[in-house]
Amino acid sequence: MISAPEMRDPDRDENFALSSGETLILQCPVIVNGPPNSEIRWFFNDAELATKKEGITFSDDKRRLKLEGAKDSHSGVFKCLAENMAGDAEKQFHVNVMTAPFRDESVWPRELRLTEGQQVEIGCPVGGTPTPSIVWLLNTHQVLEKGAEEANGKGVKLENGKVGQKIGKG
């Protein structure tokens, strides 16, 4: 009798958070129920990983996926699919690669040259995963209450030397 493959805990979410540069090994928990052997395939965000993707290798039997030198682009959903003539089974793994705060000057310039009384928008050129918290200080005093900015707001507008509204660039 031919049996379809089964997975241990197929409905239990598997969540992994790791820092940029770390290694992660995902184990496909397929249960072997006798012949025929199941073919195992891996997917990343619903695209099959048929060829080697940067930093990803497989064991010979494809039961293990090894992610080396994790990068932000590796964040997403990995899935192993075991299938044979009788059916298939799958298991998902949610991976979140965290990156330390870094300087990102693609939107906000680092230096500003102004004339007195000119309106200016000042941004905080940082990025990271999760998004870093930003506290705005003027002469060592906090100028905006924590939590007052919108989720992606990284800038403030200054008019006549006073802090005006929050702006949401970035």
142-161 per-position pLDDT tens digit:
766 544 443 345 565 555 44
Question: Which structural domain, as residue segments, surrounds residue 68?
Answer: 6-99
19, amino acid identity: S
* Whether residues 108 and 155 fall in one domain: yes
User: What gap in Å lies between CA 99 and CA 108, rounded to an integer?
Assistant: 20
Mean pLDDT of 134-146: 70
The pLDDT tens digits for 44-95 are 999 999 766 788 999 999 999 999 999 989 999 999 999 998 899 999 999 9
CATH number at residue 23: 2.60.40.10
pLDDT of 33 over the 90 cut: no
Burial of 110 (0-12, 13-18, 19+ CB in 10 A): exposed
**Collapsed DSSP state (helix, strand, coil) of residue 107:** coil
pLDDT of 139 over the 90 cut: no
Domain boundary among 79, 99, 119: 99
Domain boundary among 81, 99, 117: 99
